Amino acid sequence: MIFSRAVFPAFRPRAEHRPTGTRPTSPHVRLRWLGTAGHVLETPGATILFDPFLTRPSLARTASRPLEPAPERWWPWLPTRIDAVVLGHSHYDHLLDAPTIALRTGALIIGSRSTASFARAAGVPEGQIVEVPPQGALVPVGDCAVRLVPSLHGRVALGRVPFPGEVRDAPALPARVHAYRMGGAFGIHVTTPGPTVYHNGSADLVDAELAGLHADVLLVGLAGRRATTRYLERLTALLSPRVVIPTHHDAFFAPLEAGARLLPGIDLDGFFREIARSAPRARVVTPTYDDVCAMPLAGDARGLTVHPR
Ligand SMILES: [Zn+2]
């Protein structure tokens, strides 16, 4: 534990990055962080999950055994109704729990061929699986339009993408960590009745794929960002976000109840300085696991408030 506290320092958000307030009474759009690159997006007419990963086995367990979802441990963290689970890529820290959530709620599971292969292996009915080709897709979900945007995976492991390749056929489950191949990466752009949202769950991008897109709110993956040249500068120049929320900066080897700790080398202070330079008018918000970010349906997304869930 002393070792993990030294390697994974506690995440202590600054007060100016948690604009506290009360839950709005008028219709609004809500975002809640589930740890790692996982988020819940709730609008008046849709509930969408991005990359929900909640089982979070220990590092030793992850390295030594097949990985099994443990929904009894984390089910209360999720909303009761879920319309879609959208996957940016199929590494275990994004995909492991998604088929279980789809099976229990009837939600669509939307992602690459590899994501679809894992969903089929878990027994998710074909009618709930949306297999997205490498060139992306636009999928309507309730009052939202979900666009999967071709992207790249950050080179997070000594300058490389871990576990590359695709899973074309249903794998045997439970599978070991290395069976969860990356399978191609997508950014997730969502048009809602309020602010537009872009989830960049891994720290790289394809500039040309983002031409013409705007995001009021940018969920920006930080793990391994230094390996991508001018990562934050390029992403913010293309999307012109009003609100920037970091994601995938926390250690994911202990239950959510243990609180957020940072991955080694994340350098949040450096991230704040980079955003101040590249997107000086954007508001940076760093929620904890217990926060809900509530955004107005009309007007500037910077008018968001953060309140307990
Ligand atoms: Zn990954």
Q: Give the model confidence (pLDDT) of 57-84 as tens digits.
A: 999 999 999 999 999 999 999 999 999 9
* Structural class in CATH, domain 15-308: alpha beta
Q: Measure CA 156 to chain center.
A: 16
Measured CA to CA, the distance from residue 297 to residue 44 in angstroms comes to 10
Q: How far apart are CA 276 and CA 280, in angstroms?
A: 5
Cα 181–chain centre separation:
17
Domain ranges of the chain: 15-308
pLDDT tens digits, one per residue of 129-151? 999 999 999 999 999 999 999 99
The predicted model scores a pTM of 0.96
Identify each DSSP E strand in 36-132 by its residue range.
38-43, 46-50, 84-86, 108-111, 129-131
CA of residue 153 to ligand 1 center, whole Å: 7
Mean predicted lDDT score pLDDT of the chain? 95
Mean pLDDT of 212-238: 97
Q: What share of the chain is helix, strand, coil (3-state, %, to 5)?
A: 25, 25, 45
| Rounded distance from Cα 161 to ligand 1 centre (Å) | 8
Cα-to-centroid distance, 95 and ligand 1 (Å):
10
Calculate how far, in angstroms, residue 108's C-alpha sits from the geometric centre of ligand 1: 21
For residue 297, report the distance from its CA to the centre of ligand 1, in Å. 32
Does the pLDDT of residue 128 top 90, yes or no? Answer: yes
Termini Cα distance of the chain: 28
pLDDT at 2 over 50: no
Between CA 239 and CA 250 the distance in angstroms is: 24
Give residue 93 CA to ligand 1 midpoint distance, Å.
7
CA of 138 to the centre of ligand 1 (A): 22
Q: What protein residues have CB closer than 5 angstroms to ion ligand 1?
A: 91
162 C-alpha to ligand 1 centroid (Å): 7
Host H or E run for residue 291: strand 291-296
Share of the chain above pLDDT 90, in %: 87
Distance 254 CA to ligand 1 centre (A): 18
Q: How many angstroms is it from 38 CA to the middle of ligand 1?
A: 12
| Distance between Cα 155 and ligand 1 center (Å) | 9
Q: By percentage, how much of the chain surpasses pLDDT 70?
A: 98
The pLDDT, as a whole number, for residue 4 is 67
Judged on CB neighbours under 10 Å (0-12, 13-18, 19+), 234 is middle
Residue 139 CA to ligand 1 center (angstroms) comes to 23
Question: How much is the pLDDT for 3?
Answer: 52
pLDDT at 265: 87
Ligand 1 center–CA 202 separation, angstroms:
6
Question: Could you tell me the pLDDT band of residue 232, with boundaries at 50, 70 and 90?
Answer: very high
Give the C-alpha separation, 90 to 265, whole Å.
24
